[in-house]
């Protein structure tokens, strides 16, 4: 079953604006990861946040994790056309199983 | 270059004709996994392997087989494909999860688009 639920399902913004995507999950996790997928291609790992971390940065990406609310958010600042893609959160359950959400489709308009 | 490769990238076949999708990684990862991606359903895990000769079912294993005879290869076998197995398939690999490092980002192959007529 898909534990991660991304919100919104689709997001369209202007280039230069910030994009925020949210992910909710149901059970306890070891870590939460965000991946990007360009149309029809393989997923690319963006960032991993451990369950004892609250915020993490990587370049223009900022991820927050609230384990009390079982939710995470991904913020992309100063968006670019190349950021157009689908974004998935994935939660690590147990030793090795990654469970992916259905993704947020982000479109950056020039 | 560190990568996961899959072959073929595209395949159109007919119901019942056995096929194999190969997956190979050159990063010495212990863990490998197969997913299928369908519109509205996201990625669902088919099978995974934590090391050579160790495989386990994921969420949607019916109609699929796998083997892990070598560390680098993890083929996906469809003994008798059916139209409901038309999908986009991804192979992925990672190091084994370590809580101290939490270092288990998965590396994905480019995908295999399978159509079963």
What was the pLDDT predicted at A31? 86
Question: Which of B43, B46, B55 is the best substitution to test chain A (most A C-beta atoms within 10 A)?
Answer: B43
Question: Which among B31, B88, B109 is the nearest to A96, CB-wise?
Answer: B31
Q: Report the distance separating Cα A109 and Cα A9, nearest Å.
A: 17
Q: Among A42, A38, A3, A45, which residue's Cα sits nearest to residue A24?
A: A3
Report pLDDT for B99: 56
Output the pLDDT for position A6.
83
CA distance A26 to chain B (A): 17
Of B33, B104, B108, the CB nearest to A42: B108
Residue A3 to residue B31: CA distance in whole angstroms: 21
Within an 8 Å CB–CB cutoff, is residue B50 touching chain A? yes
Residue A103 touches partner B, C-beta closer than 8 Å:
yes
**Nearest residue in B to A104, CA atom:** B42
Model confidence band, residue A3 (pLDDT cutoffs 50, 70, 90): low
**Which parts of chain A are beta strand (E)?**
5-7, 10-14, 19-24, 31-37, 43-50, 55-58, 61-66, 71-76, 85-93, 97-100, 104-109
The residue behind tokens 């000769």 is: B53
3-state class (DSSP) for residue B84 = helix
Q: Is A106 exposed, middle or buried (0-12, 13-18, 19+ CB in 10 A)?
A: buried
- B-proximal residues of A, 31-50, CB under 8 Å: 31, 33, 40-45, 48, 50
Cβ-count burial B8-36 (b if 16+ within 10 Å, e if not): eeebebeeeeebebebbbeeebbbbbbbb
Q: Closest CB to A40: pick one of B41, B43, B111.
A: B111
- Asked if residue A92 has pLDDT above 80, the reply is no
Round the average pLDDT of chain A to a whole number and report it.
90
Mean pLDDT of A67-94: 92
> Which position has the higher pLDDT, A40 or A108?
A108
Give me the pLDDT at residue B96, please.
Answer: 75
Pick from A24-33, A40-49, B19-28, B54-63: least confident: A24-33
Give me the average pLDDT of each 10-residue run along chain B (117 residues): 95 97 96 92 91 92 97 97 97 77 79 97
- Tell me if A72 sits within 8 A of A63, measured CB to CB: yes
Q: Which of A48, A95, A103 sits opposite B42 (nearest CB)?
A: A103
Paired sense of beta strands A104-109 and A10-14, if any: parallel
Q: B42–A31: do the CB atoms touch at under 8 Å?
A: no
What was the pLDDT predicted at A1? 36
Task: Say what the pLDDT of residue A2 is.
Answer: 40
């Amino acid at each position: 079953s898909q534990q991660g639920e991304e919100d919104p399902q689709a997001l369209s913004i202007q280039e230069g604006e910030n994009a925020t995507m949210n992910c909710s999950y149901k059970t306890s996790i070891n870590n939460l990861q965000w991946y990007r997928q360009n149309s029809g291609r393989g997923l690319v790992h963006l960032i991993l946040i451990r369950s004892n971390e609250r915020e993490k940065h990587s370049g223009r990406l900022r991820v927050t994790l609230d384990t009390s609310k079982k939710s995470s958010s991904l913020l992309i600042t100063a968006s670019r056309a190349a950021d157009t893609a689908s974004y998935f959160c994935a939660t690590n359950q147990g030793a090795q199983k990654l469970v992916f959400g259905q993704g947020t489709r982000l479109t950056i308009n020039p | 270059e560190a990568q996961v490769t899959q072959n073929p990238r595209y395949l159109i076949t007919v119901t019942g004709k056995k096929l194999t999708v190969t997956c190979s990684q050159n990063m010495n990862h212990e863990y490998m996994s197969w997913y299928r991606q369908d519109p509205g359903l996201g990625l669902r895990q088919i099978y995974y392997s934590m090391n050579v000769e160790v495989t386990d079912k994921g969420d949607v294993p019916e109609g699929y087989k796998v083997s892990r005879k070598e560390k680098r290869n993890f083929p996906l076998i469809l003994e008798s494909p059916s139209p409901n197995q038309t999908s986009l398939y991804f192979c992925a690999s990672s190091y084994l999860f370590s809580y101290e490092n939490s270092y288990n980002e998965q590396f994905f192959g480019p995908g295999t688009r399978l159509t079963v007529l």
